[in-house]
Chain A
Amino acid sequence: EAGVVQSPRYKIIEKKQPVAFWCNPISGHNTLYWYRQNLGQGPELLIRYENEEAVDDSQLPKDRFSAERLKGVDSTLKIQPAELGDSAVYLCASSSPYELTGPSSGANVLTFGAGSRLTVL
Chain B
Amino acid sequence: QKEVEQNSGPLSVPEGAIASLNCTYSDRGSQSFFWYRQYSGKSPELIMSIYSNGDKEDGRFTAQLNKASQYVSLLIRDSQPSDSATYLCAMRFSGGYNKLIFGAGTRLAVHP
Q: Which residues of A contact B (CB under 8 A)?
A: 31, 33, 35, 40-45, 48, 50, 55-56, 91, 95, 98-99, 103-104, 106, 108-115
Do B34 and A42 touch across chains, with their CB atoms under 8 A apart? no
Identify B43's interface contact among A56, A99, A109, A112, CB under 8 A: A112
Is B8 part of the binding interface, using a Cβ–Cβ cutoff of 8 Å?
yes
Q: Which residues of B contact A (CB under 8 A)?
A: 4, 8, 31-32, 34, 42-46, 49, 51-52, 88, 90, 92, 96-105
Do A95 and B98 touch across chains, with their CB atoms under 8 A apart? yes
Do B98 and A112 touch across chains, with their CB atoms under 8 A apart? no
- What are the residues of chain A within 8 A of B100 when measuring CB–CB? 33, 45, 110
Main secondary structure of the interface of B (DSSP, over half): loop
Given contacts A103-B92, A115-B43, contact A42 B49 (CB under 8 A): no
CA distance A50 to B96 in the complex (A): 12
Q: Which residue among B32, B43, B101, B103 has the maximum number of chain A CB atoms within 10 Å of its CB?
A: B43
CA distance A90 to B105 in the complex (A): 17
CA distance A104 to B45 in the complex (A): 19
Do A42 and B96 touch across chains, with their CB atoms under 8 A apart? no
CA distance A5 to B69 in the complex (A): 38
Residue of B nearest to A91 (CB): B43
Identify B4's interface contact among A42, A55, A114, CB under 8 A: A42
Q: Shortest beta-carbon distance, A75 to chain B, in Å? A: 15
Do B51 and A42 touch across chains, with their CB atoms under 8 A apart? no
Do B88 and A42 touch across chains, with their CB atoms under 8 A apart? yes
Residue of A nearest to B30 (CB): A103
- What are the residues of chain B within 8 A of A113 when measuring CB–CB? 43
Do B44 and A103 touch across chains, with their CB atoms under 8 A apart? no
Those 5 A-B pairs whose CB atoms lie nearest each other, nearest first: A42-B102, A112-B43, A104-B51, A98-B98, A103-B31
